[in-house]
Structure 1
Amino acid sequence: MFKWLKPLLFGIWGLLLIPLIGTTLERWFRENIFSEPNAVATAISNNLVAVSQLRWFNFALVFMTGIVIGVSLESSKRKSGERKAFELRSLGYRFRSLSDNIKLRTASPGWPDNARDLRPAILSAFVSARKFDVWVPDERMYELPDASFLCEYFRSVGMLLEDGHLDDASREALSWKPFLDRGKPS
């Protein structure tokens, strides 16, 4: 959307609200502040009342209110979508980074003890993935004889998440479930 269009729409809508707000303010001033009628305030109020009683005014006010609400909802939806896309890319990056870190750690024997310090990061990534309804392995992954399952899971699902393909990433993650179920504990 054009950068100047949203402020313009809100400006027009604000101008249409002046007669409604102005008459209410004049009435409040008359009742609470001025002890006697004020000629300037009364003249302004009369003019605002006259504008608000024009045939086109109510239509214009309702029409502009609808447009402002629509523009606001569209803007909110776009920002929400951008935030979700950023979170998906971040999660994909974390998955791929964990894959690389686990692969480096498990070059020497000793899985899962040589990657014990990565457990909080793995758990955090799994919690984030569950928010997007992406299947994640359970604690049985630490019982497997090596970390190749976890490295490949993180790498393949992470690539799809980084590219913003949530549905594909969910299907890919779920396709790893049978491998974990068939995996033999060490």
Structure 2
Amino acid sequence: MSNRLKQFLFGIWGLLLIPLFMPILERGLKAANVFSDLGGVVTTVFGNAAVTTVSDNLVALGQQRWFKFAMVFLTGMLVGIALEWLNRKSAEKRASELRSLGAKFRSVSDSIKIRNASSEWPDNVRDLKPAILSAFTSARKFGLWVPNEHVYQLPDATFLCEYFRSVGKLLEEGQFDKANSEALSWKPFLDNVTLS
């Protein structure tokens, strides 16, 4: 929905609120003696009879059945528009966070790959463990399966490196469902290796 149409609908809705709040406003003005003060600005500009007539007509309009229906209908439309906008913003934020997580996965994969050349696994990635745990924690927030501590008992870092690379690539591309399936596809391999 275009911004101009949204602004137009909110403007109409704002105008429709005037007759609903007019009885409250009228009581407040009468309590403040605005209508009876002959030297008052309202009386000087509009005249007491004109203000009273407009006020009475707005109050009568606010009590019409069709007016109340229009008000409820328009309020419902505006609430729907607001919810749709919030949902879209939330989805955009989630997609951005998932792409960021994918970049983090790929970065960790590259760092592990560089260290994988040495034969000192898992000691050669001690300084990367906070980054690995942070990536796992972030992935869990989105419901992705992540390896447990048994991954450090594997003979080398190939499993972890490939897990991060493949899942990270899909996350960066915005393919969350495929990334979730890819992550789950690594679970049986880790389970089989740790059982033997």
TM-score by length of 1: 0.88
Matched with 2:12 is 12
Matched with 1:50 is 60
Q: Which has the larger radius of gyration?
A: 2
Structure 1, gaps ≥5 residues long: none
How far residue 22 of structure 1 moved from its aligned partner, in angstroms, is: 2.7
How far residue 76 of structure 1 moved from its aligned partner, in angstroms, is: 1.0
Q: How does 1:1-186 map to 2 (within 5 A)?
A: 1-31=1-31, 33-34=32-33, 39=48, 42-54=52-64, 56-183=66-193
How far residue 44 of structure 1 moved from its aligned partner, in angstroms, is: 4.5
- The aligned amino acid for 2:173 is D
How far residue 143 of structure 1 moved from its aligned partner, in angstroms, is: 1.4
Residues of 2 paired with 1:24 and 1:2: CA distance?
Answer: 34
Matched with 2:40 is none
The answer to whether the Cα contact below 8 Å between 1:145 and 1:184 also exists between their aligned partners in 2 is: no
Identity percentage over the alignment?
61
Residues of 1 paired with 2:127 and 2:74: CA distance?
Answer: 57
TM-score by length of 2: 0.84
How far residue 80 of structure 1 moved from its aligned partner, in angstroms, is: 1.1
Residues of 2 paired with 1:121 and 1:12: CA distance?
Answer: 53
Residues of 2 paired with 1:155 and 1:84: CA distance?
Answer: 20
The 1:20–1:145 alpha-carbon spacing in structure 2 relative to 1, beyond 3 Å, is same
Structure 1, residues 142-163: CA drift from partner, whole Å, max 9, x if none?
Answer: 1112111000000111111112
Residues of 2 paired with 1:37 and 1:103: CA distance?
Answer: 86
SS in 1 for 2:120: coil
Residues of 1 paired with 2:170 and 2:67: CA distance?
Answer: 52
How far residue 108 of structure 1 moved from its aligned partner, in angstroms, is: 2.2
Structure 2, gaps ≥5 residues long: 38-47
Q: When the two structures are aligned, how many residues end up with a matched partner? A: 184
How far residue 116 of structure 1 moved from its aligned partner, in angstroms, is: 1.2
How far residue 167 of structure 1 moved from its aligned partner, in angstroms, is: 1.8
Structure 1, residues 95-118: CA drift from partner, whole Å, max 9, x if none?
Answer: 111101111122223222221121
Residues of 2 paired with 1:104 and 1:78: CA distance?
Answer: 39
